Amino acid sequence: MWAGYEDGMVVLEVSWMFDDEIEHHHYVKVSKDFFDRNEKTIVRIAKSIKAV
């Protein structure tokens, strides 16, 4: 998982590879408040995905 800031928002990218060896990327932009309230859950989900 990659996290950064853009225009006052937290930008998250999660990338992973399925068994078919195709790389998948998901991007999301959330408010800092949302990220702060849900950081533990977001990190737990990201860790559960097979990272590229």
* Distance of alpha carbon 11 from alpha carbon 18, whole angstroms: 23
Q: Can you count the helices (H) and strands (E) in the chain?
A: 1, 3
What's the domain range around 14?
A: 2-48
| pTM of the full structure | 0.65
Per-10-residue mean pLDDT of the chain, 52 residues long, equals 89 81 86 94 79 50
Domain count, the chain: 1
